[in-house]
A and B are shown apart, each in its own frame.
Chain A
Amino acid sequence: MRIILTLLRKDFANFIRDKAAVSLTFLVPVALIFIFGQVFGLNRKDTGPTGVRLAVVNQSDNPAARKLVEALRAEKSFRVVTSFVNADNSERPLAEDDLRPMIRNRELRFALVIPPDVIATSGFGLHLKILSDPRNEIETQTVNGLLQKAIFSNVPQLLGQSLQLSAQRQLGRAGLEQFNGAMAAAVTKAFGGNLEETKRAMASGDFGLETVAPGAQPGGPAPDSAGFLSRIVQIDNEQVVGKDVKSPEATRVVGGWAMMFLMFALSHSAAAFFEEKKAGLFQRLLSAPVHRAHILWSRFLYGVLLGLVQLTALFFAGRLLYGIDVLGNFGNLVVICTAAAAACTAFGMLLAAISPTAAAANGLATFLVLTMSATGGAWFPVSFMPEFMQRIAKFTLVYWSMEGFAQVLWAQQSLLQILPTVGVLLGIAAGVMAVAVWRFSRGPIFD
């Protein structure tokens, strides 16, 4: 037993001295729990995503349509956008024609159009239109579910109006008034209430149908009557981006996988710096006519090329196994892969520059790879996170790399269209590399 206790003490002593192991054991899980908690609203009373941008164009002058817009505004999962900001910063109401370019330009992923004929003029039922860029399946399914919940929770009054219109077509105006009067008289006689008020309510389509859908309040669960309502509410879904993608499911997820693998590979290359230092190779290299800059830039280029080859191989594996269309926009894919690899490599070099040991570099790399993947959108949609987390996501190279992959593979965008994303990635690479070089010049790695 004494031997076991001695060895146990040894294990704990080693563990406590290994800062990387300590941080991996405690810091990483806590950070990930925090991020997951933010995404799934674990610290809120209500759960689910927050802040999904949803454009709403209300072309109907029906009061019930306005009520639907207000209901969507009250839904915490959405950030409803109803106005368009002009170049001179003036605003005007959004029009349907604005939506498609905005979706193509990645300003929006989802839009709801409430058309002038929201209440069907021929036949019975409602008519709505949803425009989307379903580049992320989880996000798309969730948003569709939330939209349906909001719509079905608020359509009963519109449905009543549809019934009234339908009846008017059948009975004529006078006949409908007579019918409403008779129905109102029967209702008030049976259940009480004011005859005139009941008659007015029926004429406005308010049959109290919301009571058919218990719990149908904004933010509440989808009503049980959704199945019935979905048969009489016609929703036209228009996929604005990615319609022609050959293998949509695989294309959606391949970017996230690629980034994870790339970052892990490059974190390994950070540790390689320390192996070379330990072996005395930097001494040998620097005793030759070699500058530190030669070593750093050759390592940077190595990382970029390795990353490019790895990403390309991964995408081709995706083509081979799942039919992802890699060749359709191959030139731009190479451009975005190069920019992503440059940003990742710079990050790996920064890790080597700021870490005192290989173990510390590995620990820090694991922590950053996991947290950047989580916040950057490699695991779940960024739009599910609170706004402050969405802002943080934009500082991660994972976010921009995934944006780039989606632009190229999903949206099939041109070089001109992907240039801003490429610029951001190269900017990250340049900025991070500058800090890394500065740290290398002062750190102990070359001593």
Chain B
Amino acid sequence: MLRFLYQRLLRLHPPAFRKRFAEEMQSIFDRVTERSARVRLLADGFLSLLRQWSLRPEFWHEFASGGQHAAVDGIPSFYTLDPFRPRTAAVVHGLILTVAVFCLTCFAIRYSWIHVLHVQIPEVQFESSSSVVPGAAAARPVQREVASRTGGQMQDDVSGSSRSSQAPPTQAPGPRPGTAAQQNAGGNSRPAPPGRAGKRARRASAFNTAQNAASQPGRAPESSSRQIASPGPGQPDTPLQPAASAPPLVPNTKIEATERRRVIEAAVADLTRYYVDPDAAQKMAAALRTHEKNGDDDAATDGEVFADLVTQHMQDVSHDKHVMMIYGAAIAPESPQPPSAADIAAYRKKMGRTNCQFEVVRVLPRNIGYLKFNSFPDAEICGPRAAAAMAELNDVDAIIFDLRDNPGGYSNMVALIATYLFDRPAHLNDFYDRSENTTEESWTLAPVPGNKLADKPAFVLTSHMTFSAAEAFGYDLKMLKRATLVGETTSGRGHMAMARRIDDDFMIRVPHIKVVNPISKTNWDGTGVEPDVKVKAADALATAEKLAESKLQGK
């Protein structure tokens, strides 16, 4: 049996090798009688088979007649060279290598097309070159305004979120949270409207809800994840957190029925008073009371479980992902501190380091501009960078804004970038503040001198990870019929919330500001922004490029 197997193995060898050596190998095998030795020879034969076929292609077709060329010692012999022909294996290997290198090169080109390195560009460069950058005209006053502001006001503006609150009553209208921690980054920040300053009050507030609570120092990681309303791809421009006033972690202790009742009552009071939609607030309040009455909360003696349950009850009725009960760490202090100058400097530094989250500024083939930015950072800090980006794309024939990885940020940046798409100020949206019953309008800024993009086709790429301010950008342009939205339905965050302290252990996030679009008279909260062309996020860029090309061809 072993002999038979060995014979088969030898037969499977390349023909030249087989003709030359198979008989001899067989004869050696036949000399061995011990079974274990024969098994070893069989294994050796198998290895030989692999070796000959994989590593010795140069011998595959060699004629088995080495003996014919045998030269007698001392007598010179002459060989003829066949016309050179590369080995088959060499050709195959070369083919594989070529394909691999080709694929690698294509991948590298594609990658470099989509990504660029974040090169930190010193601000001074923009200032010095502002005379030739069309957008710089808009950017400069922004900076000046930052510089001229009073410290306190600026802090409130820039940080907005964290725990500012307790703002002096003389300040500009906007959410005044009392003892609550204001969570809207830049909730009160005003855009610096070049050429229009002071004419129209605008709320340059941020849509980046919740992010600040999530990034406060000194909190337990699990509770932070609980507090993030929008667990998107990080909140890149989370501004300025107070460093020193971190509250201590609260241990997850048992809570009594009386405390549960007290929390529910406080929640009902806050909802009724502040929630953007009074009807929904009533419904949520009623639902909370009903659940309490029915004893649905009785089992929740654990603070975190109870908070999650209350959150669930509120969201079941309102479908508003912003409304949330929070337990445990990082409860807003009663008298929160505004962020320090160091916090502002840290935010500025972070923005500088990350190129203000502008990932790609590029001109694609057929002169289509492509701008991928992963945040709407504060225009007061990143305005010059945005202006420079738009200036770079000033001569394109169509422009694509990629917001697929954009979790939102400041509305003053929304207004600043949108400005480039209009030759007149455009009414983007209104911010209705329930707690103060005020409405503030958000407009694009004065047209930028030298801007050529106002009449160019514009496309906005969206994904389900497109959040708040980024959604506003898409929604506003869609309503104004200024851009074609391509991609997925966005996440649906159109409210701005603030965390309000209940006691040492609990706080509640109540959306008190909603965006109202002047055209649709509503917003995208809960539903998300529907794209005009619905495709998978991964295909959005290619689709938009095609749309842009066909639009340009049709011209």
Partners in one complex: no
Taking Cβ atoms with an 8 Å cutoff, the residues of A that contact B are: none
